[in-house]
Every structure is written in C-alpha cells, then in structure tokens.
Chains A and B, each alone.
Chain A
C-alpha cells in the first residue's frame, strides 16, 4: 500500500494511504480553506445537496421551516393523535356552559372528555374556556367548588377513553408494544407535581405519570413518554382501548410510583398535588395529544368538520335552531299512542346509542302532540328504531319530530365509552 506520511504541527502524524486499486483514479480536494469530513466523525454539514440518500432512523429535529418534496417511503402517520377533540373545540352537549362533577357518573364538559369524582365529598365544575395558550382557541377549566381531602380510595379526574380500534396498532398487551408519548398544555392556580395515569379497560394495568407545574396561572407544555405495556388485556375493537386520565385528586390507595407499569390501581402518582383539596383552585388543559413513538411532535390539528364527525361516533346532539325546528325524523304511527322513526345518524356510531329527548313533539300538517317518553326499540349503530309515546295520534298518519315551542329542544344519541 502506497502512503504519504505528514507530520503533525507539534507531534504525531497523519498517514494518507491508497488502497489496492485498478486503473487511475482522481481525488479532487475542495478549493477552499476547510476541513475534510470523515465517515465516522460527527460533523455539522452546511449547504449540502444529497442526491438519492438513504436515511436510516433519521431525527429531523425541530427545523424552523422546511419542505419535503417527492419523497418515497416517508412513514407519516395520518391519524397521529389518538385523542379526539384534544384542542377542546367541540362541545355539542353544553355549548360552552359549565357542568358540575359531583359523582362517579361521567360528566362531559366537552366532547369525548369526562370529569368524574366520588359522591359529593369534593365537587368541581368543568367548562370549555377561551383561555388558551398561543396556537389554541380553547381549553377546559376545572374549578374546585367544594374542597375535600381524598379518602384512601377516592379519585377525582378528567379523562378520555380511547376506542380500541384507534390504538390497536400500538400492540399493547404483547411483546413489541409501541412506546407512546403524551403531550399537553396545562395551567393551574397551584404549582407542584401533578399526576395522571394510563389505564386499560379491565382496570388492572396502570401507568401512573407525573409532571411539574412550575408557575401558577401560566400555561406550560408537558410531555410524558410511556413504554408500551407488554402485559394485560387491551381491547382492540369498539370497546375502551385505553384511558388517559389526569388526576385532580387521589387517595393513598389510588396512587403509585410514576413511570412504571403496575397492576395496582392507579389514578395518579405518588406525591402528587391534589387540586380537589383547595377550594377555588383551577386547572386548565388543552392540546392533549397521544401519539406513537418516543418524541412529542407538534399538535395534530384536524379540520373542525373532521373533528366533529370523530366526536359524533360517540355522541350526537340534534339541537333545535328555532322554537319549532324539525329534528330530522319522519315517523310512522302504528297506534294512537306510538310513533316510530328511524334517524339517519351522521356517522356510524360506536354502538347502538342511548337516546334522550327534551321539549319535543310529533307534528303532522295539523296537530302537534307532545312526546312524553322515548325508547330505542331496534338496535342499529346507524339507523336505530326510536319509538315515541304520545297521546291522541291518528293511526297510520305520518308525523315528524319537531321542537315543541322551545329553541333548546333536542334529541341526542350517546354511544360513549
């Protein structure tokens, strides 16, 4: 092997060697005062054009701007955020009004997110808010209205249950389960360590997590990376595939060490601040995102229409727009006390929905008959049979469902998790 040895300025030497080679080859040095880059050295390259590169496990970092064009093999996950309504924009139930959480019944301040508590020991309200960090228009604010020190098994929380179909690809419950990353914006009147948990439907697999709120009444961005759970049963169809829960208070037997999977019931993390213990304390949250991988990326904004339809798989409220609005159902009249209709739901719901009505009536071209009861009498996730109880209907006549002189009238359909 031919070589040239160049002595170092003060010591040592660099040997330039030519390998075994056939023919004549030319190595051209750059016309610049510069430093050559080695194959295995770590360098920052400037103003380079790469033609047909193969990038193995690249990390793009957080460039201020950039355009990817004509790419093949780019693995962009179209449904990146597994949380629905993470920006807290959709509120079909309450139209921005406050709800009170004073029981274990799931109460929804916005679509897909529910508050839960225990009895009425501690009470908080939850409401869509226009107070939000830059880049968001809404959040949900939880405000403690009756403080309580959580008893050992008490838990107060704000959570979303994710349908199994939407997390099935994460492969939880088996070897190779994907790491996921939870990110969100949070603000509280309190500072300190706060907690939450990832849970399965069987409520026997838990990942308590914690995060720190450093400044009172200031939105802060938080990320939590969670190693995929290789144990337990995680539903993968239309059941509850995963619960993401933010704790507002939890008793001693409902918290565990953050950052590890456990089968011990966990609604929060050991050492967490219990918001519910401070009357008037506030907790704002928005920009909630759960994504595959170990890096929190920018929030996955979806169009309003897309987000609304995603929500309507779980809940749809057909709300009157005037005092005698039609509410989207034509009904048959098998007898004088019953009308039967088949609503066309806007999307296929997760299951046959439960139904409620408020201030509605049946009307033909002449008469309006107040509806006194409603019942689902045939199962379907897209066109269920809904029966209405009235008085004095004309058999075989066609009626339509209408607001009964009330602009707040509605019929709603719930297939929540």
Chain B
C-alpha cells in the first residue's frame, strides 16, 4: 500500500501510496497524518528500492 522513497543522499523522505500518490514527510500534510495512523496500527511500508529514488 505504502512504499518508502529515498532521496539522492539515500534518506527516506517520503512514501508513495498505491503507486500513485507521493506523500511528503510533512507533519501538516493530512496524507502523511493518515500514513502515520496506518503505521501506528502496526503496519509497515515496503522498503525503498536500493539505488533509486
């Protein structure tokens, strides 16, 4: 459902939902708030692909 995204420096900086919606790690972003709630329910995002953003 959610997949992590790394920047060029290799840090996880956002997630993509359903291969469609890019969600930044901004506490004020409501999509990010929903992602955090999903994680709080015990879910884990798919790790980012190695070597790509």
Contact = CB atoms under 8 A, between A and B. Distances in A.
Contact of B22 (A337, A355, A415): A355
A373 B48 CA distance: 13
Contacts of B16: 373, 375
A166 interface: no
A378 B23 CA distance: 11
Contact of B53 (A350, A353, A389, A415): A389
A414 B31 contact: yes
A379 B52 contact: no
A334 B5 CA distance: 16
Contacts of B13: 376-378
Contacts of B25: 379
A343 interface: no
A374 B29 CA distance: 17
A239 B28 contact: yes
A36 to B, nearest CB: 65
Interface string A321-357: 0000000000000100110100000000011111110
Contacts of B1: none
Interface in B1-41: 5, 7-8, 13-14, 16, 19-26, 28-32
Contacts of A337: 52
Given A338-B53, A373-B19, A389-B53, A352 B30 contact: no
Contacts of A239: 28
A353 B29 contact: yes
A376 B14 contact: yes
B3 to A, nearest CB: 10
A238 interface: yes
Interface in A65-108: none
Interface of B: 5, 7-8, 13-14, 16, 19-26, 28-32, 52-53
Given A338-B52, A338-B53, A376-B22, 17 more contacts: A239-B28, A334-B8, A351-B26, A352-B24, A353-B29, A354-B21, A354-B22, A356-B20, A375-B14, A376-B13, A376-B23, A377-B8, A377-B14, A377-B53, A379-B25, A379-B26, A414-B31
26 contacts: A337-B52, A340-B8, A351-B26, A354-B22, A354-B23, A354-B24, A354-B29, A354-B31, A355-B21, A355-B22, A356-B20, A374-B22, A375-B5, A375-B53, A376-B22, A377-B5, A377-B8, A377-B13, A378-B7, A379-B26, A384-B24, A387-B5, A387-B7, A389-B53, A414-B31, A417-B30
